[in-house]
Structure 1
Amino acid sequence: MKRTRGSETSQYPEEEKSIEIPSVAASERGKAQTDPNTKAKGIDPIGRI
């Protein structure tokens, strides 16, 4: 059970970064459909084409 607590502490800092990654990906997909010119400039070159 002590190992679980240690893992949780390690996950805390990782969660902060993990949350940022999906948040950006979600924004890219959401904005890519609404404004392909905004994110397609460097994130989704296929969208621009």
Structure 2
Amino acid sequence: MCKEEVEIARLVLVDTVTGTRIRHRIRNMKQALKQQEWYEAALGRRVRIEKEFRR
């Protein structure tokens, strides 16, 4: 039998102006939304949540 690889998506926060990641990988959407709100207030600009798949 061959083991099937399952790709696990993780969430990262990305600064929309610079396009750089501003936070390490986050496991769930609830945590990502909380972090997004905090970073937007701290930076004063939009932050987007992206899915990243393990390579």
TM bin (shorter chain): 0.3 to 0.5
* Structure that is richer in helix per residue: 1
* Structure that is richer in strand per residue: 2
**Which structure is richer in relative contact order (CA contacts within 8 A, separation 6 or more)?**
2
Taking structure 2 as the reference length, the TM-score comes to 0.32
Greater Rg, structure 1 or structure 2? 1
